[in-house]
Amino acid sequence: MRNLILAAFLASTTTMAANPAQASNFSLYPGFIDRDATVEMTTDKGLIIEIVLRCSRRPNGQVRSGIMSYSKVERLFCSSKNRCFRNADRAFEDTCS
């Protein structure tokens, strides 16, 4: 899970470094390619990266999802419960619990 979040983050920040004007509202959809991906979508909104997560999959196929964010300035991952962590896994657990 952590590798997917970091890969999405690195892809977004690489685009940001290339040209900040073009990177605003840049989205990646790793969940579209991999049905079992933990990260459904990332959106680079400038100083914040919004990360849509797949928290769990129910037996009937429905997905329970959550949203967390990453601040490029503060270098913090924040859960949907307004708690921020340096560790992406802790923010994931807080969002999906």
- 5-18 pLDDT, tens digit per residue, is 555 555 555 444 44
Comparing CA positions, the residue from 23, 44, 25, 41 lying closest to residue 33 is 41
Strand partners, 77: 70, 85
pLDDT of residue 28: 76
Our count of domains for the chain comes to: 1
In this prediction, residue 24 has a pLDDT band, given cuts at 50, 70 and 90, of low
For 35-47, what is the mean pLDDT?
A: 86
In this prediction, residue 76 has a pLDDT band, given cuts at 50, 70 and 90, of very high
User: What is the extent of the structural domain holding 12?
Assistant: 2-96
Comparing CA positions, the residue from 7, 3, 2, 13 lying closest to residue 75 is 13
Amino acid at 25: N
Report the alpha-carbon distance of residue 35 to residue 12 in Å, rounded.
21
For 52-76, what is the mean pLDDT?
A: 88
Strand partners, 70: 49, 77
